[in-house]
Amino acid sequence: MAGGSAPRPRRGSERVGGHECSIIVGDRRFRLLKKRFRRLTSVLVVVFLGWYLAYIGLSAFARGFMARPVIGNVNVALVLGMLQFVSTFLLAWYYSRYARRRLDPLSAQIRQEVERRREAYARMMAERQLLEGWNAADETAGGGRR
Amino acid sequence: MISTTGDGRVLTLALFVVFIAITLGVTFWARANTRSADDFYAGGRAFSGVQNGVALAGDYMSAASFLGIAGLIALSGYDGFLYSIGFLVAWLLSLLLVEMMRNAGRFTMADVLSYRARSRPKVRTAAAVSTVTVSVFYLLAQMVGAGALVSLLLGIHAGDSFLGLSAEAAKTLTIVGVGIMMIFYVMFGGMKATTWVQIIKAVLLIVSTAVLTVLVLSRFGFNLSTMLGAAADASGSAGFLQPGGRYGQDVRGDTVRTVLNKLDFISLALALVLGTAGLPHIVGRFFTVPDARAARRSVNWAIGLVGVFYLMTLALGFGAAALVGQRAISEQDPAGNTAALQLAHELGSHLGGRLGGDLLLAFIGAVAFATILAVVSGLVLASSTSLAHDYFGHVLMLGRPRESQEVAVARISAFLIGSLAIMLAVVARNLNVAFLVALAFAMAASANLPAIVLSLFWKRFTATGALAGIYGGLGSSLVLVLLSPVVSGKVDPVTGQNLSLLPEGVDFQLFPLENPGLVSIPFGFLCAFAGSWLSKEKAEPQGYDELSVRSLTGLGSHRPA
């Protein structure tokens, strides 16, 4: 599910090491991911909270306006209330679409690269063990960093 | 009057027994499949996005929203709908936070905070205190509600008796019974059982609400405007379809009172919209899915289901006002909590005579019980998880408990918290504690939200900031409610009747608003900022980097076995 086909670390609470972390933090793609996510969240928070508070404000202070009939007994208050539902559905849909298109691929790339680095590191260690004549049989070769 | 016949009562009980039997079966199955801490706290992280989404909706749609909002709309008109809107819009905040929290956390909110304060068990303690406080208040409201519901549902009035029980005894028995069931689900079945109970209940609730909605609309030729008109006519008040019937009322000739009423309304609206993302039983559910994408999907499902459900409360509330009538509703329960049940009885009677009425009423009554039972279980699970994982595991055992030990402690905590809630609810069984739901939302927004948001998004946030935010937000909302009109000093201006929790004559009301959110939420954020700025300690930059890498990419996040 997350990250689609990306290889993922096995179960457990593997911490992301300090060195690994600083590499990722410096990565251009990570900075882009972070920037996009923050922009998305702040825009959405401003939009939905602003619109909600505007609606609450109208309910508290503009009763005459809210009471105006629109169709039959359906008044402005009811239409705006229903629009809060519609906007919630729309914003949730927009967020999910944006995340799927613009965020998930970036995070998948970053994860894949970490995975590659971990494998390369494990291979290197295995080779070194071989060259230096360690008993590599007990160690895991290519099993990722523990 | 709703059914007071023996048949209806027996049918309600029978249906409820069927629900109990099924959920007990689920609990035994869950017990056999719960081994690790991951299983107990997070259902093995193996629920799909859809399953968890339905369960999230189940956790959220409490009896307060099913019965309470329908009653509020029936009695106060449009203003009841304001609750529905706040409760739904709030989910957008959860949607924005859920993936980061799922990636970063393990079982609780404190897991997310701990990145920024690795060496500070005090933050864990604070999170546990806040989690348990919010949950217990919410629990209390639900359980006292269950007691009130049973006497109404079984038609036992003061002086009346059913199966040899007086109304008082039936209330107490219900509270204890509901309490024992919730303790049982959580102790034995953990998150797996609780989630399935939640899913079963959510499906029952949505389906039965949909049935009622269709039946209501069919009475008005599926014309919304006709239904609204009939409700407004039946209510006899001109402003029934506009805001202002209950919240933010204009008091003629008293500007101060009018402004305070409006501020109180805004305060409530803020607490509703900002509280959801900090509710412990909702946050705990973020960790039951395999990964962040499933977590996103589950919140999307919850938004869909919760949205449809709250839209239908319109039909229930206005339908009850039109078809049952306000007088009949307030005769049965002045707070209006029986409106949905009376509506079910009326709709059933219209379709199939007395039998039809009894049948539908019995069914909806059983669903209401199932709703209460499921929600209280979720709350007990959330608070016992926090006690065992945060306090016992990370504070007392310094983060090195054996997993089996921690789960055993979680089970014992469930028993203790559940018993505490039963005792408190029995003591409070005759008080009007409906305000506790809004208070729980206000506390969650004031204490938990600042800590969660700032630790995820603010680089300079420190452990001291987290402590100050949690205790500041929690303390201020508690103190403000204590000094508010809901506790003392509120008198009906017309009848002179005492409307507060404490008896007449006791008056230490200092804070004019009934909901503390407007003050306590900004205060919680302010404390969190001030604590971070003023403390001498430096923010831990590695902790922040690790948290942002992990929360945004999902690297190193906890996976299902």
How far is residue B459's CA from residue B457's CA, in Å, rounded to a whole number?
Answer: 7
Position A105 scores a pLDDT of 95
Domain with B112, as residue range(s), is 6-553
The verdict on residue B559 lying in a domain is: no
Position B382 scores a pLDDT of 96
Q: Nearest Cα to B320, choosing from B304, B301, B334, B341?
A: B341
Q: Which residue does chain B place closest to A82, by CA atoms?
A: B311
DSSP state letter for B31: H
Burial of A102 (0-12, 13-18, 19+ CB in 10 A): middle
How far is residue B58's CA from residue B52's CA, in Å, rounded to a whole number?
Answer: 9
Is B461 in a helix, a strand, or coil?
Answer: coil
The verdict on residue B111 lying in a domain is: yes
The verdict on residue B558 lying in a domain is: no
Strand partners, B491: B498
**CATH code for the domain of B278:** 1.20.1730.10
Q: Which residues of B486-514 are buried (b: 16+ CB within 10 A; e: fewer)?
A: bbbbbeeeeeeebebbbeeeeeebeeebb
3-state secondary structure A20-75: HHHHHHHCHHHHHHHHHHHHHHHHHHHHHHHHHHHHHHHHHHCHHHHHCEEECCEE
Name, in order, each residue with C-beta under 8 angstroms of A144's C-beta and a sequence gap of 6 or more: A9, A10, A115, A118, A119, A122
Cβ within 8 Å, pair A61-B95: no
How far is residue B10's CA from residue B153's CA, in Å, rounded to a whole number?
Answer: 11
How far is residue B2's CA from residue A145's CA, in Å, rounded to a whole number?
Answer: 67
- Whether B87 and B310 have beta carbons less than 8 Å apart is answered as yes
Task: List chain A residues with CB under 8 Å of B549.
Answer: 16, 21, 24-25, 30
Cβ within 8 Å, pair A92-B273: no
Strand partners, A69: A75
Q: Nearest Cα to B423, choosing from B140, B142, B183, B171?
A: B140
How far is residue A50's CA from residue A54's CA, in Å, rounded to a whole number?
Answer: 6
- Whether A36 and A102 have beta carbons less than 8 Å apart is answered as yes
| Å between A138 CA and nearest CA of chain B | 24
| Å between B250 CA and nearest CA of chain A | 9
Q: Count other C-beta atoms under 10 Å from residue B98's C-beta.
A: 26
Burial of B402 (0-12, 13-18, 19+ CB in 10 A): exposed
Position B16 scores a pLDDT of 83
The verdict on residue B165 lying in a domain is: yes
> pLDDT tens for residues A105-118?
999 999 999 989 98
Q: Which stretches of B277-402 are DSSP H helices? A: 280-283, 292-323, 326-332, 339-385
| Å between B91 CA and nearest CA of chain A | 8
| Å between A103 CA and nearest CA of chain B | 9
> pLDDT tens for residues B349-386?
999 888 888 889 888 988 988 899 999 999 999 999 99
The verdict on residue B561 lying in a domain is: no
> pLDDT tens for residues B202-247?
999 999 999 999 999 999 999 999 999 999 999 988 889 999 888 8
Position B316 scores a pLDDT of 95
Torsion of CA B22, B26, B29, B30, to 10 degrees: -160
Q: Nearest Cα to B455, choosing from B529, B389, B517, B388?
A: B529
Q: Which residue does chain A place closest to B555, by CA atoms?
A: A111
How far is residue B355's CA from residue B337's CA, in Å, rounded to a whole number?
Answer: 23
Q: What is the pTM of this model?
A: 0.92
Cβ within 8 Å, pair A41-B96: yes
Q: Which residue does chain A place closest to B82, by CA atoms?
A: A81
Of B265, B552, B559, the CB nearest to A107: B552
Q: Nearest Cα to A25, choosing from A114, A88, A97?
A: A114
Q: Which stretches of B386-487 are DSSP H helices? A: 403-427, 435-443, 449-457, 463-482
The verdict on residue B560 lying in a domain is: no
Position B275 scores a pLDDT of 95
Q: Which residue does chain A place closest to B303, by CA atoms?
A: A89
Res A74 pLDDT > 80: yes
Position A144 scores a pLDDT of 45
Position A146 scores a pLDDT of 43
Q: Which residue does chain B place closest to A61, by CA atoms?
A: B262
Position B159 scores a pLDDT of 57
The verdict on residue B384 lying in a domain is: yes
Q: With a cut of 0.90, is the ipTM above it?
A: yes
Position B480 scores a pLDDT of 96
Cβ within 8 Å, pair A91-B92: yes
Position B493 scores a pLDDT of 75
Task: Choose from B69, B260, B298, B555 for mutation: most chain A CBs within 10 A.
Answer: B555
User: Which position has the token pair 């004549």?
Assistant: A133
Cβ within 8 Å, pair A56-B266: yes
Burial of B239 (0-12, 13-18, 19+ CB in 10 A): middle
Domains of chain B: total = 1
Cβ within 8 Å, pair B549-A24: yes
| Side-chain-facing half-sphere of B2: CA atoms under 13 Å | 38
In order of A94, B33, B92, B268, B477, the CA distances from B438 in angstroms are 30, 36, 19, 7, 11
How far is residue B456's CA from residue B450's CA, in Å, rounded to a whole number?
Answer: 10
The verdict on residue B1 lying in a domain is: no
Q: Which residues of B259-295 are buried (b: 16+ CB within 10 A; e: fewer)?
A: ebbbbbbbbbbbbbbbbbbbbbbbbbbbbbbbbbbbb
Task: Choose from B78, B241, B553 for mutation: most chain A CBs within 10 A.
Answer: B553
Q: Nearest Cα to B357, choosing from B212, B246, B482, B475?
A: B212
Torsion of CA B325, B326, B328, B334, to 10 degrees: 160
Task: Choose from B50, B96, B270 for mutation: most chain A CBs within 10 A.
Answer: B96
How far is residue B475's CA from residue B226's CA, in Å, rounded to a whole number?
Answer: 48
Cβ within 8 Å, pair A1-B85: no
Cβ within 8 Å, pair A73-B291: no
Cβ within 8 Å, pair B303-A25: no
Cβ within 8 Å, pair A92-B311: no
Q: Which residue does chain B place closest to A115, by CA atoms?
A: B555
> pLDDT tens for residues A29-58?
999 999 999 999 999 999 999 999 999 999
CB pairs under 8 A between A and B: 175
Task: List chain B residues with CB under 8 Å of A145.
Answer: none
- Whether B94 and B295 have beta carbons less than 8 Å apart is answered as no
Task: List chain A residues with CB under 8 Å of B556.
Answer: 9, 13-16
Name, in order, each residue with C-beta under 8 angstroms of B20's C-beta and a sequence gap of 6 or more: B181
Q: Between A5 and B14, name the one with better pLDDT.
A: B14
- Whether A110 and A24 have beta carbons less than 8 Å apart is answered as yes
Sign of CA dihedral B196, B202, B205, B211: negative
Q: For residue B127, what are its two tokens?
A: 């999170």
Position B87 scores a pLDDT of 95
Cβ within 8 Å, pair A15-B291: no
Q: For residue B447, what are its two tokens?
A: 């204490």
How far is residue B477's CA from residue B249's CA, in Å, rounded to a whole number?
Answer: 23
Tens digits of pLDDT across chain B (561 residues):
454 456 677 887 888 889 999 999 999 999 999 989 999 999 999 999 999 999 999 999 988 788 889 999 999 999 999 999 999 999 999 999 999 999 999 999 999 998 887 667 899 999 999 999 999 999 998 898 888 787 677 665 555 666 667 778 888 888 999 999 999 999 999 999 999 999 999 999 999 999 999 999 999 999 999 999 999 999 988 889 999 888 888 888 888 999 999 999 999 999 999 999 999 999 999 999 999 999 999 999 999 999 999 999 999 999 999 999 999 998 888 888 889 999 999 999 999 888 888 889 888 988 988 899 999 999 999 999 999 999 999 888 888 888 888 999 999 999 999 999 999 999 988 887 778 888 999 999 999 999 999 999 999 999 999 999 999 999 999 999 999 998 888 887 777 788 888 888 788 889 999 999 999 999 999 999 999 999 887 777 788 999 999 999 999 888 887
Task: List chain A residues with CB under 8 Å of B553.
Answer: 24, 30, 33, 107, 110-111, 114
B77: left (phi over 0), alpha (psi -120 to 50) or beta: left
